[in-house]
Amino acid sequence: MRFLCVIAMPRTGSSHLDKLFRSCRELNSKSEMFHGHAGFLISPKEKAGLEALGCDAFDDKRQFALWRRRHAFETLDALHRAHGRFVVFKVFPSHLKPPMMEEEFLPRTDMAFAVLRRRPIECFISGIKTRTSKKFSKIDTTAIKPELEVADFIAWAHKMRRWYRWAYAALKARGAPFARLSFEEHLDGLSGEESLERIVPLLTPLGFPQVKIPHKIFEGLRQDKEPRYQERAANWDAFEEAARADPQAADFLEWALRAP
């Protein structure tokens, strides 16, 4: 086993998970390496490996991202060969299309999978807060109280629920075990050491390397300190009432309120 693909959606705590994995010297954690335009940190050895594959778009984030998507597994192979370490990365709905993953990733016998979830409504509200602040980390969003719109929620929930339904069905059809991780059980309110002590045993049976818990662990900071998601929005009561009055929105809301 050489790779771990973490299937998740935005605001599930995946950046915090990435920091925990980057703390472990046995792992090469690459976060959102298939993001459509985000930057991508690579070492000189990794760059040389990608250059050998014909990549020459390092100075253009967008073109480099498109190249990685077109050569997804070649990119992963190069990253692993560069340092010989187990490569961890995450995939969101906007990163790679399911047919591509079914063709290139799921058949691989050297790739393990984990599904990371969080109570969906918290992801929805957190996403609105980050778009409002235009910052996805390193900012306290507790004081931001957005107005929730039912139409926006329906569009978001439709995409995210379909993503997770596809993931579970595809992974079960693969016939190999996969890990189920949750923000609430494995990340929230825990120290980095406590999180790793809970997560690593779930991944080890999949072929994850034996990880020594490091003395120094990088950790993400919770951006929203408000404990109740109902208090994170300016109009929760009105939003919930309007959502429950719409059959489609009510169905999505029931899904979104359930913790994994």
Q: What confidence tens digit (pLDDT) does each residue in 211-232 have? A: 999 999 998 888 899 999 999 9
How many domains, the chain? 1
Burial label for 167, CB within 10 Å (0-12, 13-18, 19+), is buried
User: Encoding tokens for residue 127?
Assistant: 């996403």
Domain interval for residue 39: 3-257
Per-residue pLDDT tens for 126-168? 999 988 876 656 788 999 999 999 999 999 999 999 999 999 9
Burial label for 210, CB within 10 Å (0-12, 13-18, 19+), is exposed
Q: What's this model's pTM, rounded to 2 decimal places?
A: 0.95
What is the per-residue pLDDT for 40? 74
What is the per-residue pLDDT for 177? 96
Whole-number CA gyration radius for the chain? 19
> Coil, strand or helix: which one is 212?
coil
Share of the chain above pLDDT 90, in %: 90
> What is the rounded distance in angstroms from the CA atom of residue 205 to the CA atom of residue 4?
12
CATH of the domain at 184: 3.40.50
What is the per-residue pLDDT for 135? 62
Per-residue pLDDT tens for 80-94? 999 999 999 999 999
